[in-house]
């Protein structure tokens, strides 16, 4: 009936299969997750929460949503979960509303150092509803907890926010909790990027420490596109629920909630733990190989790292991103600590291995990827030669529709 869209889905399938996906926030969801997303559950209106709905006929979706909630709580060791947020941004909006009144003060990371748009960007709702102040990374690009404490004592925020979009090292959530307790403020963690590592026990967990933890479900967690909010505090859980619905959202996406339930089950398996361990290993192997090749790399303790392409290849992040697309490698430009270029150019690239590892990228592949990128950005090998290597590698991996 709609050949136009059908053909474009085929075109995108081909793009996903041909290329090496190194965008750190992306992944490939399983067939089971995708089938739930495309299921008849999309037909149901279910405003409200299980057993407290505004509509009839919710007895089945009540069971689905209750399972999703129970599995989220089990996976992350949380008492309460809200699985209705349509995205990570929506989850953050609801969390802020539950934590403080409008105009409340949040202390979060400098956006150019790796904070998310919803952590106080002028183009996001967040900076208009709340008063954001920021802590920087140190000159080495690491969190400086002493400095966070110092700024918190000066600024007296209502909330300290941790969890980032481009931070390649482990975050010490216990330290952040101590700072919050010392200054007497709430702690919020946005674990959108590292939720998969936390689920797998490969990063210390904020869930028992933070007042509220938010996440996306589609990044390292490998589920459907969506958000999740966790807390152990019953009073906060009630506030979160009314902030998600009816304040910010209408009817929940029960097809996506079913897919989230499947994702939480998948993430609670030994095979997921093994997958996340490979992601970490591949990321470190690639980051370290760049270093060996003389390229300035942040190194990595999680699923991503940053490259300084300006110093290493004399081109900015925007140019490097465009050049790598010529050989079917997808990355994104990213600010690096102390960046001298604006956010629309940047000196860096952000590279992650969550997606490619799902398709079967090995440690050897990850090391070869560093060589291909280096060869192409330094103009020492031709486009034909590099793209051929990329296609040879991806043709040995699983196809996106088979995952
Ligand atoms: C990706 C991300 C989000 C937002 O997720 P969306 O689903 O795109 O709204 C929020 N916080 C952090 C730290 C992220 O990396």
pLDDT per position as a tens digit, 372-390: 999 999 999 999 999 999 9
To the query of whether residue 154 is one of the catalytic residues in this protein, the response is no
Do 82 and 240 contact (CB within 8 A), yes or no?
yes
337 pLDDT band, cuts 50/70/90, is confident
For the chain, what is the radius of gyration of the CA atoms? 21
Catalytic residue among 32, 34, 35, 45: 45
328 carries an active-site annotation: no
Which tens digit of pLDDT belongs to each residue from 138-153? Answer: 999 999 999 999 999 9
Each residue of 311-347: b (16+ CB within 10 Å) or e?
A: ebbebbbbbbbebbeebbbbbbbbbbbebebeeebbb
Q: Is 164 in the pocket of ligand 1 (CB under 6 A)?
A: yes
How remote is the CA of residue 109 from the centroid of ligand 1, in Å?
14
CA distance 207 to 400: 32
Question: pLDDT tier at 319 (50, 70, 90 boundaries)?
Answer: very high
What whole-number distance in Å separates Cα of residue 247 and Cα of residue 229?
15
Supply the mean pLDDT for the chain: 97
Query: Which of 381, 363, 384 shows the shortest CA–CA distance to 372?
Result: 381
277 C-beta neighbours (distance < 10 Å), count: 15
Region of 254 (left: φ > 0; alpha: ψ -120 to 50; beta: rest) is alpha
Backbone angles phi, psi at 13, to 5 degrees: -60, -45
pLDDT at 338 over 90: no
DSSP letters, 107-164, are EEE-GGGT--GGGT-TTSHHHHHSEEEEE-B-TTS-B-HHHHHHHHHHH--SEEEE--
pLDDT in tens, 210-244: 999 999 999 999 999 999 999 999 999 999 999 99
Is 163's C-beta closer than 6 angstroms to any atom of ligand 1? yes
Q: What is the pLDDT of residues 388-402, one digit of tens each?
A: 999 999 999 999 999
DSSP state of 297: B
Residue nearest to atom 5 of ligand 1 (CA): 88
What is the CA(88)–ligand 1 centre distance, in A? 5
From first CA to last CA, the distance across the chain in angstroms is 27
Kindly give the number of the ligand 1 atom that is closest to the alpha carbon of 227: 7
pTM beyond cutoff 0.95 = yes
Distance in Å, CA 56 to ligand 1 centroid: 33
The residue contributing the CA closest to ligand 1 atom 6 is 88
Are residues 163 and 194 in contact, defined by beta-carbon separation less than 8 angstroms? Answer: yes
The mean pLDDT value for 313-330 works out to 98
User: pLDDT tens digits for 270-317?
Assistant: 999 999 999 999 999 999 999 999 999 999 999 999 999 999 999 999
d(CA 284, CA 291): 11
Quick check: 323 pLDDT over 90? Answer: yes
Mutate to test the pocket of ligand 1, among 89, 92, 188 (most ligand atoms within 8 A of CB): 89
Mean pLDDT confidence for 155-179: 98
Closest to 265 in 3D by CA, of 221, 208, 326:
221
Whether 219 is catalytic is yes
Q: Whose CA is nearest to atom 3 of ligand 1?
A: 88
φ, ψ of residue 292 to 5 degrees: the values are -60, -30
What is the distance in A from the centroid of ligand 1 to the CA of 224? 13
Percent of the chain with pLDDT over 70: 100
């Amino acid at each position: 009936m709609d050949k136009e869209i059908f053909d474009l889905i085929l075109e995108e399938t081909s793009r996903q299969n041909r290329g090496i996906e190194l965008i750190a926030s992306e992944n490939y969801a399983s067939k089971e997750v995708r089938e739930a997303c495309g299921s008849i559950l999309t037909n149901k209106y279910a405003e409200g929460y299980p057993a407290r709905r505004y509509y009839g006929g919710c007895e089945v979706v009540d069971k689905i949503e209750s399972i999703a909630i129970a599995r989220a709580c089990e996976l992350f060791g949380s008492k309460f979960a809200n699985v209705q947020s349509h995205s990570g941004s929506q989850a953050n909006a609801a969390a802020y509303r539950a934590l403080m009144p409008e105009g409340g003060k949040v202390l979060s990371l400098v956006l150019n150092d790796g904070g998310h748009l919803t952590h106080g960007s002028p183009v996001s709702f967040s900076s208009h509803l709340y008063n954001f102040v920021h802590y920087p990374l140190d000159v080495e690009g690491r969190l400086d907890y002493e400095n966070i404490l110092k700024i918190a004592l000066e600024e007296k925020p209502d909330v300290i926010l941790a969890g980032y979009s481009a931070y390649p090292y482990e975050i010490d959530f216990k330290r952040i909790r101590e700072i919050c307790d010392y200054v007497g403020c709430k702690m919020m963690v946005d674990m959108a990027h590292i939720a998969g590592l936390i689920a797998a026990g490969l990063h210390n967990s904020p869930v028992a420490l933070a007042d509220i933890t938010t996440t996306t479900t589609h990044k390292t967690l490998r589920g459907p596109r969506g958000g999740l909010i966790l807390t152990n505090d019953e009073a906060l859980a009630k506030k979160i629920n009314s902030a998600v619905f009816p304040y910010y959202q209408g009817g929940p996406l029960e097809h996506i909630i079913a897919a989230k339930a499947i994702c939480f089950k998948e993430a609670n398996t030994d095979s997921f733990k093994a997958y996340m361990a490979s992601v970490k290993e591949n990321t470190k192997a690639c980051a370290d190989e760049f270093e060996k090749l003389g390229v300035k790399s942040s190194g990595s303790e999680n699923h991503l790292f940053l490259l300084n392409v300006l110093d290493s290849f004399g081109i900015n992040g925007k140019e490097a991103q465009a050049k790598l697309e010529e050989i079917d490698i997808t990355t994104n430009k990213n600010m690096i600590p102390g960046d001298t270029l604006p956010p629309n150019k940047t000196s860096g690239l952000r590279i992650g291995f969550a997606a490619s590892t799902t398709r079967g990228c090995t440690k050897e592949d990850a090391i070869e990827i560093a060589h291909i990128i280096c060869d192409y950005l330094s103009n020492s090998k031709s486009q034909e030669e590099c793209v051929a290597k990329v296609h040879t590698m991806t043709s040995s991996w699983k196809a996106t529709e088979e995952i």
